[in-house]
Amino acid sequence: MSHKIQYDIPIRMRRNRYSSGIRAMVAENAVTVNDLIYPVFILDGSNRKEAINSMPGQSRVSLDNLLLIAQDLVDNKVNGIALFPVIEGLKDNQASQSYADEGLVQTAIRLLKSKFPQLVVFSDVALDPYTIHGQDGIIDDTAYVLNDETIEVLIKQALSHARAGVDFVSPSDMMDGRIGLIRDALDQHGFINVGIMAYSAKYASKYYGPFRDAVGSSSNLANADKKNYQLNPANIKEAMCEVALDIAEGADMVMVKPGLPYLDVVSTVANNFDKPVAVYHVSGEYAMLKAASLAGYLDYDATLIETMLCFKRAGADMIWTYSALDVARILNTKS
């Protein structure tokens, strides 16, 4: 192709963008199905599937339908699934259902590992789905979340998940010291190969709204918040301290949550620590993308892949996303 005007420009960066083939060759980051972990909301009973209005395309499902999702994940080569329970009528102030060996999550873990042993199962270790008040821990008479009393229950919960066969317990509560104490308990009970995915930098974010709607804790929480244990969105040094402490206490993987608004945190964690880093593409982020695409404002598939690439570019090794199956289908179609 000839041009009438040709300046003496010795470095032309656009040459490496000239064709799709060249662009693919020089791409610095890529998203694969191996990066994905799919969070699923589970219900008791059978043949149940309840749409989550604030999360278009997502549903609360009973365990028979969970198996259909698991099959879909395996068929699309997605290796990870994370379980979040919707507890109905069994909540109390001590979160006693959280560590019941025949509880919903424990039953789901056993079922998944018996039918799909190749799936890596992550379980949420936190008390908010089980408490009447919707907080992530045991509270005192002023509604303050008690740190050490909460850890006592978290340990029981983690052990019950380990007995059920979980691959990774995922403490999302942000109590001080809980990673080391859970690790000690797992080891003492012989669960040396059960890993810990620590929610190390979990911020007190408004992006969690649809999630709380999905698990039924928003009405229990009412006008309260979680700012006295989750991180202040203004802080990053504090997040680095939390990550360092969790790694020192025995975390195998660490997480930053939410995702897109906290890419600077993801990058800083990835650049300063050697443990695998996960990022949670949270319910609010998912809902905004879905709403915009349904309104015709965005191309869902293209924007979704761009979002995933942003996480990878920032340094994330794993991405927890409600769009995991969508991402997998897009990637598998192209391969």
Q: Which residues are catalytic?
A: 202, 257
158 CB-side CA count, 13 A: 34
* CA–CA separation, 306 and 292 (whole Å): 15
Say how many C-beta atoms besides its own lie within 10 A of residue 4's C-beta.
4
Bridging pattern class, strands 195-202 and 253-257: parallel
What tokens appear for 236 in the block? 């990053």
Q: Which of 218, 282, 270 has its CA nearest to residue 82?
A: 282
Q: Which of 143, 116, 262, 111 has its CA nearest to residue 199?
A: 262
Three-class secondary structure of residue 151 per DSSP:
helix
**Residue 11: exposure state from Cβ atoms within 10 A (0-12, 13-18, ≥19):** exposed
Positive/negative CA dihedral, 225, 230, 233, 238: positive
Q: Are 173 and 126 in contact (CB under 8 A)?
A: yes
Positive/negative CA dihedral, 236, 240, 316, 214: negative
